[in-house]
Structure 1
Amino acid sequence: MDLGYMELPLLVTENEGMPIYLQIFHQIRHLIISQRLPEGSQLPSVRQLSKQLGVNAGTVVQAYRELRTQGFVDAQQGRGNYVKRLSAPAEDFALRQALLDDALAKALERSRALGFDLATIRQHFNMLLATQGGPVPVLFLSINRPHAEKYAAVLNKHFAASGIEVLPYTLDDLERRKPDLLRAFERAYYAISFVTFVPRVQKALLDQGIPSTVLGITAEITQSTLEGLHDLPPHKRYAIVTEERNINSFLGYVRQYTAIDYKTVRLFLPGQTDLLKRALPDLDTVIYSFGVREAIEQCRVPKAKQLELEFNITMDSLRHLRKVFAPMMSSVPV
Structure 2
Amino acid sequence: MNRESSVPVHVQLKTQIRHLIMTGALKPGSQVPTVRQLAGFLRINPNTAAKALAELQQEGYLESRPGRGTFVADRPPTGEGKMARGIERLVDETLERARRLGYSAEEFLATAATRAPVAGARKAKRTRALVIECNWPEVSRFREELEAELPLAVDRMLVEDLTERARRDPSFVREMVGYGVVITTFFHIHEVKAALAFESVPVVALLTEANISTLLRLSELPEGTTVGLVCGTPKGTQNLLRSVQSAGLTHLKTVL
Class of the TM-score when normalised by the shorter of the 2 chains: 0.3 to 0.5
When the two structures are superposed, what TM-score results if normalisation uses the length of structure 1? 0.33
When the two structures are superposed, what TM-score results if normalisation uses the length of structure 2? 0.41
Larger Rg: 1
Q: Which has the higher contact order (CA 8 A, sep 6+)?
A: 2
